[in-house]
Structure 1
Protein backbone atom coordinates (compact mmCIF):
# COMPACT_ATOMS: atom_id res chain seq x y z
CA UNK A 1 0.00 0.00 0.00
CA UNK A 2 1.37 3.39 -1.02
CA UNK A 3 1.03 6.06 1.64
CA UNK A 4 -0.01 9.64 0.92
CA UNK A 5 3.56 10.82 1.57
CA UNK A 6 4.95 8.35 -0.98
CA UNK A 7 2.32 9.46 -3.52
CA UNK A 8 3.40 13.07 -3.04
CA UNK A 9 7.05 12.11 -3.64
CA UNK A 10 6.10 10.29 -6.84
CA UNK A 11 4.07 13.21 -8.15
CA UNK A 12 6.54 15.98 -7.23
CA UNK A 13 8.55 17.77 -9.88
CA UNK A 14 12.34 17.82 -10.10
CA UNK A 15 12.41 21.28 -8.52
CA UNK A 16 10.20 20.13 -5.65
CA UNK A 17 12.38 17.05 -5.16
CA UNK A 18 15.53 19.18 -4.95
CA UNK A 19 13.89 21.48 -2.42
CA UNK A 20 12.72 18.52 -0.35
CA UNK A 21 16.20 16.97 -0.35
CA UNK A 22 17.76 20.29 0.71
CA UNK A 23 15.21 20.60 3.51
CA UNK A 24 15.92 17.06 4.68
CA UNK A 25 19.68 17.72 4.68
CA UNK A 26 19.20 20.91 6.73
CA UNK A 27 17.00 19.03 9.18
CA UNK A 28 19.65 16.28 9.41
CA UNK A 29 22.38 18.85 10.09
CA UNK A 30 20.34 20.25 12.96
CA UNK A 31 19.55 16.79 14.38
CA UNK A 32 23.19 15.66 14.10
CA UNK A 33 24.35 18.83 15.85
CA UNK A 34 21.88 18.33 18.71
CA UNK A 35 22.73 14.62 18.98
CA UNK A 36 26.43 15.35 19.39
CA UNK A 37 25.60 18.12 21.87
CA UNK A 38 23.97 15.51 24.14
CA UNK A 39 27.13 13.35 24.26
CA UNK A 40 29.54 14.21 27.12
CA UNK A 41 32.76 15.86 25.90
CA UNK A 42 35.09 13.63 27.94
CA UNK A 43 33.79 10.52 26.18
CA UNK A 44 34.47 12.00 22.76
CA UNK A 45 37.96 13.05 23.83
CA UNK A 46 38.78 9.58 25.15
CA UNK A 47 37.56 7.88 21.97
CA UNK A 48 39.32 10.35 19.68
CA UNK A 49 42.69 10.18 21.48
CA UNK A 50 42.56 6.39 21.78
CA UNK A 51 41.68 5.91 18.09
CA UNK A 52 44.39 8.36 17.02
CA UNK A 53 47.09 6.70 19.15
CA UNK A 54 46.08 3.22 18.01
CA UNK A 55 46.13 4.34 14.39
CA UNK A 56 49.60 5.81 14.86
CA UNK A 57 50.78 2.47 16.23
CA UNK A 58 49.01 0.48 13.53
CA UNK A 59 50.44 2.50 10.63
CA UNK A 60 54.07 2.23 11.75
CA UNK A 61 56.41 -0.77 11.65
CA UNK A 62 56.20 -0.88 15.45
CA UNK A 63 53.27 -3.31 15.44
CA UNK A 64 55.06 -5.74 13.14
CA UNK A 65 58.11 -5.58 15.40
CA UNK A 66 56.01 -6.25 18.51
CA UNK A 67 54.44 -9.29 16.83
CA UNK A 68 57.81 -10.35 15.40
CA UNK A 69 56.44 -10.28 11.84
CA UNK A 70 59.30 -8.57 10.06
CA UNK A 71 61.00 -11.90 9.28
CA UNK A 72 57.84 -13.84 8.42
CA UNK A 73 57.63 -14.65 4.71
CA UNK A 74 54.44 -16.76 4.63
CA UNK A 75 51.77 -15.08 6.72
CA UNK A 76 48.72 -17.27 7.36
CA UNK A 77 45.16 -15.98 6.94
CA UNK A 78 44.62 -16.23 10.72
CA UNK A 79 47.63 -14.01 11.36
CA UNK A 80 46.49 -11.59 8.65
CA UNK A 81 43.13 -11.27 10.37
CA UNK A 82 44.76 -10.89 13.78
CA UNK A 83 46.63 -7.72 12.85
CA UNK A 84 43.61 -5.60 11.75
CA UNK A 85 41.63 -7.09 14.66
CA UNK A 86 44.18 -5.64 17.07
CA UNK A 87 43.42 -2.29 15.48
CA UNK A 88 39.64 -2.52 15.19
CA UNK A 89 38.39 -4.58 18.13
CA UNK A 90 39.78 -2.31 20.92
CA UNK A 91 38.25 0.74 19.22
CA UNK A 92 34.85 -0.93 18.86
CA UNK A 93 34.96 -2.19 22.45
CA UNK A 94 35.77 1.28 23.79
CA UNK A 95 33.13 2.90 21.56
CA UNK A 96 30.43 0.50 22.80
CA UNK A 97 31.49 1.04 26.41
CA UNK A 98 31.55 4.84 26.19
CA UNK A 99 28.44 5.30 24.07
CA UNK A 100 26.30 2.34 25.15
CA UNK A 101 23.48 4.77 26.00
CA UNK A 102 23.84 6.59 22.68
CA UNK A 103 24.35 3.72 20.21
CA UNK A 104 20.91 4.18 18.66
CA UNK A 105 21.97 7.71 17.75
CA UNK A 106 24.72 6.29 15.54
CA UNK A 107 23.63 2.84 14.38
CA UNK A 108 20.30 1.75 12.88
CA UNK A 109 18.99 -1.10 10.76
CA UNK A 110 19.33 -0.83 6.99
CA UNK A 111 16.32 -0.24 4.78
CA UNK A 112 16.12 -0.67 1.00
CA UNK A 113 16.51 3.02 0.27
CA UNK A 114 19.62 3.24 2.44
CA UNK A 115 21.20 0.23 0.72
CA UNK A 116 20.67 1.79 -2.70
CA UNK A 117 21.96 5.13 -1.45
CA UNK A 118 25.11 3.74 0.17
CA UNK A 119 26.02 1.74 -2.94
CA UNK A 120 25.76 4.86 -5.10
CA UNK A 121 27.68 6.86 -2.48
CA UNK A 122 30.50 4.30 -2.54
CA UNK A 123 30.61 4.29 -6.35
CA UNK A 124 30.50 8.09 -6.52
CA UNK A 125 33.25 8.56 -3.92
CA UNK A 126 35.43 6.08 -5.82
CA UNK A 127 34.80 7.99 -9.03
CA UNK A 128 35.74 11.25 -7.31
CA UNK A 129 38.94 9.67 -5.97
CA UNK A 130 39.87 8.38 -9.45
CA UNK A 131 39.15 11.77 -11.03
CA UNK A 132 41.33 13.54 -8.46
CA UNK A 133 44.08 10.95 -8.97
CA UNK A 134 43.98 11.55 -12.73
CA UNK A 135 44.07 15.32 -12.21
CA UNK A 136 47.03 15.10 -9.86
CA UNK A 137 48.86 12.68 -12.12
CA UNK A 138 48.36 14.38 -15.47
CA UNK A 139 47.28 17.93 -14.64
CA UNK A 140 49.97 18.89 -12.16
CA UNK A 141 53.55 17.97 -11.29
CA UNK A 142 52.39 14.78 -9.59
CA UNK A 143 53.60 12.44 -12.35
CA UNK A 144 53.00 8.77 -13.01
CA UNK A 145 56.58 8.06 -12.06
CA UNK A 146 55.96 9.54 -8.62
CA UNK A 147 53.02 7.20 -8.12
CA UNK A 148 54.61 3.94 -9.20
CA UNK A 149 54.03 1.29 -6.61
CA UNK A 150 53.83 -2.34 -7.63
CA UNK A 151 51.08 -4.02 -5.66
CA UNK A 152 49.56 -7.44 -6.32
CA UNK A 153 46.10 -8.60 -5.35
CA UNK A 154 45.74 -11.29 -2.68
CA UNK A 155 42.16 -12.62 -2.18
CA UNK A 156 42.59 -12.94 1.58
CA UNK A 157 43.16 -9.17 1.75
CA UNK A 158 39.41 -8.74 1.19
CA UNK A 159 38.72 -10.24 4.61
CA UNK A 160 41.37 -8.02 6.17
CA UNK A 161 39.68 -5.03 4.54
CA UNK A 162 36.30 -5.79 6.13
CA UNK A 163 37.83 -5.73 9.61
CA UNK A 164 40.22 -2.83 9.10
CA UNK A 165 37.69 -0.44 7.57
CA UNK A 166 35.47 -0.70 10.63
CA UNK A 167 38.35 0.64 12.73
CA UNK A 168 38.96 3.38 10.18
CA UNK A 169 35.32 4.44 10.43
CA UNK A 170 35.62 4.75 14.20
CA UNK A 171 38.71 6.95 13.78
CA UNK A 172 37.06 9.14 11.15
CA UNK A 173 33.78 9.74 12.93
CA UNK A 174 35.27 10.01 16.41
CA UNK A 175 37.31 12.89 14.94
CA UNK A 176 34.25 14.39 13.28
CA UNK A 177 32.04 14.14 16.38
CA UNK A 178 34.78 15.46 18.67
CA UNK A 179 35.41 18.57 16.55
CA UNK A 180 31.68 19.15 16.08
CA UNK A 181 31.18 18.88 19.84
CA UNK A 182 33.53 21.84 20.37
CA UNK A 183 31.23 24.03 18.27
CA UNK A 184 28.26 23.23 20.52
CA UNK A 185 29.73 25.49 23.22
CA UNK A 186 29.33 28.64 21.12
CA UNK A 187 26.61 31.07 22.16
CA UNK A 188 25.29 31.51 18.62
CA UNK A 189 25.72 28.15 16.87
CA UNK A 190 26.21 28.13 13.11
CA UNK A 191 25.09 24.62 12.24
CA UNK A 192 26.20 24.54 8.60
CA UNK A 193 29.61 26.13 9.27
CA UNK A 194 30.19 23.78 12.20
CA UNK A 195 29.48 20.73 10.04
CA UNK A 196 31.69 22.04 7.21
CA UNK A 197 34.72 22.81 9.41
CA UNK A 198 34.37 19.50 11.27
CA UNK A 199 34.17 17.70 7.92
CA UNK A 200 37.26 19.41 6.50
CA UNK A 201 39.40 18.69 9.56
CA UNK A 202 38.25 15.08 9.95
CA UNK A 203 38.79 14.39 6.23
CA UNK A 204 42.27 15.92 6.40
CA UNK A 205 43.23 13.91 9.48
CA UNK A 206 41.85 10.72 7.96
CA UNK A 207 43.89 11.29 4.82
CA UNK A 208 47.07 12.06 6.77
CA UNK A 209 46.57 8.85 8.79
CA UNK A 210 47.41 7.00 5.54
CA UNK A 211 50.78 8.73 5.05
CA UNK A 212 52.94 5.74 5.94
CA UNK A 213 50.83 3.48 3.72
CA UNK A 214 51.34 5.73 0.69
CA UNK A 215 55.02 6.54 1.18
CA UNK A 216 54.26 9.92 2.81
CA UNK A 217 52.74 11.47 -0.32
CA UNK A 218 50.79 14.31 1.30
CA UNK A 219 48.89 15.36 -1.85
CA UNK A 220 47.73 11.82 -2.49
CA UNK A 221 46.61 11.27 1.10
CA UNK A 222 44.81 14.61 1.45
CA UNK A 223 43.01 14.71 -1.88
CA UNK A 224 42.62 11.10 -3.04
CA UNK A 225 42.04 9.52 0.38
CA UNK A 226 40.73 12.40 2.48
CA UNK A 227 38.63 14.59 0.18
CA UNK A 228 36.16 11.86 -1.00
CA UNK A 229 35.23 11.29 2.67
CA UNK A 230 32.98 14.36 2.37
CA UNK A 231 30.52 12.02 0.69
CA UNK A 232 30.41 9.89 3.85
CA UNK A 233 29.49 12.97 5.87
CA UNK A 234 26.62 13.69 3.48
CA UNK A 235 25.56 10.06 3.71
CA UNK A 236 25.57 10.27 7.51
CA UNK A 237 23.45 13.43 7.41
CA UNK A 238 21.01 11.73 5.06
CA UNK A 239 20.72 8.40 6.91
CA UNK A 240 22.05 9.11 10.44
CA UNK A 241 23.38 5.56 10.30
CA UNK A 242 27.09 4.72 10.64
CA UNK A 243 26.44 1.27 9.16
CA UNK A 244 25.67 3.06 5.90
CA UNK A 245 28.93 5.02 5.90
CA UNK A 246 30.92 1.89 6.75
CA UNK A 247 29.31 -0.12 3.96
CA UNK A 248 29.78 2.73 1.48
CA UNK A 249 33.46 2.73 2.49
CA UNK A 250 33.53 -1.01 1.77
CA UNK A 251 32.00 -0.47 -1.67
CA UNK A 252 34.59 2.23 -2.39
CA UNK A 253 37.54 0.06 -1.37
CA UNK A 254 36.22 -3.12 -2.98
CA UNK A 255 36.04 -1.25 -6.29
CA UNK A 256 39.70 -0.37 -5.80
CA UNK A 257 40.44 -4.02 -4.95
CA UNK A 258 38.56 -5.14 -8.08
CA UNK A 259 40.65 -2.87 -10.29
CA UNK A 260 43.79 -4.09 -8.54
CA UNK A 261 42.71 -7.70 -9.09
CA UNK A 262 42.12 -7.03 -12.79
CA UNK A 263 45.53 -5.38 -13.04
CA UNK A 264 47.17 -8.37 -11.35
CA UNK A 265 45.38 -10.73 -13.73
CA UNK A 266 46.53 -8.77 -16.77
CA UNK A 267 50.14 -8.69 -15.52
CA UNK A 268 50.12 -12.47 -15.03
CA UNK A 269 49.08 -13.10 -18.63
Structure 2
Protein backbone atom coordinates (compact mmCIF):
# COMPACT_ATOMS: atom_id res chain seq x y z
CA UNK A 1 0.00 0.00 0.00
CA UNK A 2 1.19 3.50 -0.78
CA UNK A 3 0.38 6.70 1.07
CA UNK A 4 -0.95 8.34 -2.09
CA UNK A 5 -4.65 7.48 -2.53
CA UNK A 6 -6.26 6.47 -5.76
CA UNK A 7 -8.28 8.97 -7.77
CA UNK A 8 -11.61 9.71 -6.09
CA UNK A 9 -15.14 8.85 -7.17
CA UNK A 10 -14.47 6.54 -10.12
CA UNK A 11 -13.89 3.27 -8.21
CA UNK A 12 -15.68 3.62 -4.90
CA UNK A 13 -13.06 5.63 -3.03
CA UNK A 14 -14.19 7.40 -0.94
CA UNK A 15 -17.57 6.98 -2.65
CA UNK A 16 -18.63 5.73 -6.09
CA UNK A 17 -20.40 8.18 -8.37
CA UNK A 18 -22.69 6.67 -10.99
CA UNK A 19 -23.74 7.91 -14.43
CA UNK A 20 -26.56 10.20 -13.26
CA UNK A 21 -24.29 11.83 -10.70
CA UNK A 22 -21.55 12.45 -13.26
CA UNK A 23 -24.16 14.06 -15.53
CA UNK A 24 -25.20 16.35 -12.67
CA UNK A 25 -21.56 17.33 -12.17
CA UNK A 26 -21.05 18.03 -15.87
CA UNK A 27 -24.24 20.10 -15.94
CA UNK A 28 -22.97 22.08 -12.93
CA UNK A 29 -19.71 22.72 -14.77
CA UNK A 30 -21.61 23.90 -17.84
CA UNK A 31 -23.82 26.18 -15.74
CA UNK A 32 -20.82 27.67 -13.96
CA UNK A 33 -19.03 28.22 -17.27
CA UNK A 34 -22.13 29.89 -18.69
CA UNK A 35 -22.19 32.25 -15.69
CA UNK A 36 -18.54 33.16 -16.29
CA UNK A 37 -19.06 33.67 -20.02
CA UNK A 38 -22.40 35.47 -20.12
CA UNK A 39 -22.54 37.65 -17.02
CA UNK A 40 -20.94 41.10 -17.29
CA UNK A 41 -17.43 41.32 -15.85
CA UNK A 42 -16.57 45.01 -16.31
CA UNK A 43 -15.02 46.65 -13.28
CA UNK A 44 -14.00 45.47 -9.84
CA UNK A 45 -15.54 44.13 -7.61
CA UNK A 46 -18.36 43.26 -10.07
CA UNK A 47 -15.93 40.98 -11.94
CA UNK A 48 -15.68 38.79 -8.85
CA UNK A 49 -19.32 37.71 -9.10
CA UNK A 50 -19.18 35.55 -12.28
CA UNK A 51 -15.78 34.17 -11.26
CA UNK A 52 -17.16 33.06 -7.89
CA UNK A 53 -20.21 31.49 -9.55
CA UNK A 54 -17.91 29.63 -11.93
CA UNK A 55 -16.20 28.09 -8.89
CA UNK A 56 -19.11 27.67 -6.49
CA UNK A 57 -21.72 26.11 -8.81
CA UNK A 58 -19.55 23.04 -9.60
CA UNK A 59 -18.52 22.76 -5.94
CA UNK A 60 -22.17 22.77 -4.92
CA UNK A 61 -22.84 20.12 -7.55
CA UNK A 62 -20.01 18.04 -6.10
CA UNK A 63 -21.39 18.52 -2.59
CA UNK A 64 -24.79 17.37 -3.83
CA UNK A 65 -23.57 14.12 -5.39
CA UNK A 66 -20.68 13.25 -3.06
CA UNK A 67 -21.81 14.75 0.24
CA UNK A 68 -19.04 15.26 2.78
CA UNK A 69 -16.65 13.42 0.45
CA UNK A 70 -16.48 16.40 -1.96
CA UNK A 71 -13.26 17.37 -0.16
CA UNK A 72 -11.51 14.30 -1.67
CA UNK A 73 -10.39 16.47 -4.58
CA UNK A 74 -8.33 18.59 -2.19
CA UNK A 75 -5.47 17.31 -0.04
CA UNK A 76 -3.24 19.08 2.50
CA UNK A 77 -0.61 21.51 1.22
CA UNK A 78 2.91 21.58 2.62
CA UNK A 79 6.36 22.56 1.40
CA UNK A 80 6.53 19.63 -1.06
CA UNK A 81 3.18 20.57 -2.59
CA UNK A 82 4.25 24.20 -2.97
CA UNK A 83 7.42 23.02 -4.68
CA UNK A 84 5.35 20.91 -7.07
CA UNK A 85 3.09 23.90 -7.81
CA UNK A 86 6.17 25.85 -8.87
CA UNK A 87 7.59 22.95 -10.86
CA UNK A 88 4.40 22.22 -12.77
CA UNK A 89 3.65 25.93 -13.18
CA UNK A 90 6.90 26.54 -15.03
CA UNK A 91 6.65 23.18 -16.81
CA UNK A 92 3.25 24.29 -18.12
CA UNK A 93 4.68 27.66 -19.17
CA UNK A 94 7.60 26.04 -20.98
CA UNK A 95 5.37 23.41 -22.59
CA UNK A 96 2.94 26.08 -23.77
CA UNK A 97 5.78 28.07 -25.35
CA UNK A 98 7.17 25.02 -27.14
CA UNK A 99 3.77 23.88 -28.41
CA UNK A 100 3.02 27.46 -29.48
CA UNK A 101 6.26 27.71 -31.45
CA UNK A 102 5.58 24.38 -33.16
CA UNK A 103 1.96 25.23 -33.90
CA UNK A 104 2.91 28.65 -35.29
CA UNK A 105 4.81 26.90 -38.09
CA UNK A 106 1.56 25.53 -39.45
CA UNK A 107 -1.24 27.94 -38.50
CA UNK A 108 -1.66 31.63 -37.72
CA UNK A 109 -2.68 32.51 -34.19
CA UNK A 110 -5.75 34.42 -33.13
CA UNK A 111 -4.85 37.23 -30.73
CA UNK A 112 -6.05 37.03 -27.14
CA UNK A 113 -8.01 40.28 -26.62
CA UNK A 114 -7.23 40.32 -22.89
CA UNK A 115 -3.55 41.01 -23.64
CA UNK A 116 -4.34 44.39 -25.16
CA UNK A 117 -5.84 45.69 -21.92
CA UNK A 118 -2.63 45.37 -19.90
CA UNK A 119 -0.79 48.16 -21.72
CA UNK A 120 -3.15 50.81 -20.34
CA UNK A 121 -3.43 49.41 -16.80
CA UNK A 122 -2.10 50.98 -13.63
CA UNK A 123 -0.79 48.84 -10.76
CA UNK A 124 -4.18 49.11 -9.04
CA UNK A 125 -5.91 48.08 -12.29
CA UNK A 126 -3.60 45.06 -12.49
CA UNK A 127 -4.38 44.00 -8.92
CA UNK A 128 -8.13 44.41 -9.58
CA UNK A 129 -7.70 42.27 -12.70
CA UNK A 130 -5.76 39.53 -10.92
CA UNK A 131 -7.99 39.11 -7.85
CA UNK A 132 -10.99 37.62 -9.77
CA UNK A 133 -8.64 35.20 -11.51
CA UNK A 134 -8.06 33.37 -8.21
CA UNK A 135 -11.56 31.82 -8.01
CA UNK A 136 -11.72 31.66 -11.80
CA UNK A 137 -8.55 29.58 -12.16
CA UNK A 138 -9.57 27.21 -9.37
CA UNK A 139 -12.87 26.87 -11.25
CA UNK A 140 -10.90 26.13 -14.40
CA UNK A 141 -9.17 23.33 -12.53
CA UNK A 142 -12.56 21.82 -11.75
CA UNK A 143 -13.33 22.19 -15.47
CA UNK A 144 -10.18 20.21 -16.21
CA UNK A 145 -10.19 17.59 -13.43
CA UNK A 146 -13.89 16.66 -13.10
CA UNK A 147 -14.13 15.60 -16.80
CA UNK A 148 -10.86 13.69 -16.33
CA UNK A 149 -12.40 11.71 -13.47
CA UNK A 150 -15.68 11.26 -15.36
CA UNK A 151 -13.94 9.81 -18.42
CA UNK A 152 -11.77 7.62 -16.17
CA UNK A 153 -14.96 6.28 -14.53
CA UNK A 154 -16.51 5.65 -17.97
CA UNK A 155 -13.44 3.83 -19.29
CA UNK A 156 -12.88 1.61 -16.25
CA UNK A 157 -16.40 1.04 -14.93
CA UNK A 158 -18.47 0.97 -18.12
CA UNK A 159 -16.05 0.10 -20.94
CA UNK A 160 -13.97 -2.38 -18.95
CA UNK A 161 -10.62 -0.82 -19.87
CA UNK A 162 -7.59 -0.97 -17.63
CA UNK A 163 -6.92 1.82 -15.18
CA UNK A 164 -3.77 2.82 -17.09
CA UNK A 165 -5.62 3.02 -20.41
CA UNK A 166 -8.41 4.95 -18.72
CA UNK A 167 -5.96 7.51 -17.36
CA UNK A 168 -4.42 8.15 -20.78
CA UNK A 169 -7.79 8.43 -22.51
CA UNK A 170 -9.15 10.66 -19.74
CA UNK A 171 -6.05 12.89 -19.95
CA UNK A 172 -6.52 13.45 -23.69
CA UNK A 173 -10.30 13.81 -23.68
CA UNK A 174 -10.34 16.23 -20.73
CA UNK A 175 -7.62 18.33 -22.39
CA UNK A 176 -9.72 18.56 -25.57
CA UNK A 177 -12.80 19.54 -23.55
CA UNK A 178 -10.79 22.22 -21.77
CA UNK A 179 -9.38 23.51 -25.04
CA UNK A 180 -12.84 23.60 -26.62
CA UNK A 181 -14.06 25.77 -23.74
CA UNK A 182 -11.51 28.39 -24.84
CA UNK A 183 -12.70 28.54 -28.45
CA UNK A 184 -14.66 31.82 -28.01
CA UNK A 185 -11.60 33.46 -26.41
CA UNK A 186 -9.48 32.66 -29.45
CA UNK A 187 -12.02 33.57 -32.13
CA UNK A 188 -12.97 29.91 -32.69
CA UNK A 189 -9.47 29.01 -33.78
CA UNK A 190 -9.67 25.24 -33.42
CA UNK A 191 -5.96 24.49 -33.68
CA UNK A 192 -4.95 27.12 -31.15
CA UNK A 193 -7.65 26.15 -28.65
CA UNK A 194 -7.55 22.35 -28.92
CA UNK A 195 -3.81 21.92 -29.44
CA UNK A 196 -2.28 25.01 -27.83
CA UNK A 197 -4.56 25.33 -24.79
CA UNK A 198 -5.08 21.56 -24.71
CA UNK A 199 -1.31 21.00 -24.42
CA UNK A 200 -1.12 23.34 -21.43
CA UNK A 201 -4.05 21.48 -19.88
CA UNK A 202 -2.17 18.19 -20.17
CA UNK A 203 0.67 19.51 -17.99
CA UNK A 204 -1.76 20.88 -15.41
CA UNK A 205 -3.69 17.61 -15.26
CA UNK A 206 -0.39 15.77 -14.84
CA UNK A 207 0.11 17.86 -11.69
CA UNK A 208 -3.14 16.41 -10.38
CA UNK A 209 -2.31 12.88 -11.53
CA UNK A 210 1.03 12.99 -9.69
CA UNK A 211 -0.32 14.48 -6.46
CA UNK A 212 -4.08 13.66 -6.44
CA UNK A 213 -4.39 17.22 -5.12
CA UNK A 214 -6.38 19.88 -6.95
CA UNK A 215 -4.64 22.56 -4.87
CA UNK A 216 -1.37 21.67 -6.61
CA UNK A 217 -2.76 21.87 -10.14
CA UNK A 218 -4.61 25.08 -9.22
CA UNK A 219 -1.43 26.62 -7.80
CA UNK A 220 0.47 25.66 -10.95
CA UNK A 221 -2.32 27.14 -13.08
CA UNK A 222 -2.28 30.42 -11.16
CA UNK A 223 1.52 30.65 -11.38
CA UNK A 224 1.44 29.93 -15.12
CA UNK A 225 -1.26 32.48 -15.94
CA UNK A 226 -0.04 35.18 -13.56
CA UNK A 227 3.47 34.91 -15.00
CA UNK A 228 2.02 35.57 -18.44
CA UNK A 229 -0.08 38.46 -17.15
CA UNK A 230 2.85 40.08 -15.34
CA UNK A 231 5.19 39.71 -18.32
CA UNK A 232 2.57 41.29 -20.61
CA UNK A 233 2.04 44.12 -18.10
CA UNK A 234 5.79 44.74 -17.80
CA UNK A 235 6.27 44.76 -21.57
CA UNK A 236 3.39 47.21 -21.99
CA UNK A 237 4.95 49.59 -19.47
CA UNK A 238 8.59 49.26 -20.49
CA UNK A 239 10.26 52.57 -21.40
CA UNK A 240 10.58 53.11 -25.12
CA UNK A 241 14.03 54.14 -26.25
CA UNK A 242 14.10 57.08 -28.61
CA UNK A 243 16.85 57.95 -31.00
CA UNK A 244 18.79 61.21 -30.79
**Shared fold, TM over 0.5:** yes
Per-residue CA shift, 1:51-78, capped at 9, x if unaligned?
A: 124324533xx433xxxx7xxxxx4311
Unaligned runs of 5+ in 1: 1-23, 70-74
In the aligned structure 2, how far is the partner of 1:205 from the partner of 1:109?
28
Q: Does 1:44 align with 2:19?
A: no
**More deviation, 87-96/220-229:** 87-96
Give 1:77's aligned residue: 44
Indicate conservation of the 8 Å contact 2:55/2:139, yes or no: yes
Q: 1:148 to 1:244 in 2, by over 3 A?
A: closer
Separation in structure 2 between the aligned mates of residue 185 and residue 230 of structure 1, nearest angstrom: 23
Unaligned runs of 5+ in 2: 119-124
Q: What TM-score results when the alignment is normalised by the length of structure 1?
A: 0.76
TM-superposed deviation, 1:157: 1.2
Q: Report how many residues are paired.
A: 228
Mean CA deviation greater in 181-190 or 171-180 = 181-190
Deviation at 1:135, TM superposition (A): 2.1
TM-score normalised to structure 2 length: 0.83
1:176 aligns with 2:151: no
SS at match of 2:47: helix
* Alignment-derived partner of residue 63 in structure 1: 39
Q: 1:151 to 1:220 in 2, by over 3 A?
A: same
Higher relative contact order (CA 8 A, sep 6+): 1
Question: Structure 2: how far apart are the matches of 1:85 and 1:216?
Answer: 25
1:204 touches 1:222 (CA, 8 Å); kept in 2?
yes
Matched, 1:142 2:108: yes
More helix by share: 1
User: What residue is the counterpart of 1:160 in the other structure?
Assistant: 132
Q: Could you tell me how far apart the structure 2 residues matched to 1:208 and 1:224 are?
A: 11
1:97 paired residue number:
64
CA gap 1:175/1:63 in 2 versus in 1, 3 angstroms: same
Runs of 4+ residues over 4 Å off in structure 1: none
RMSD of aligned Cα (Å): 2.6
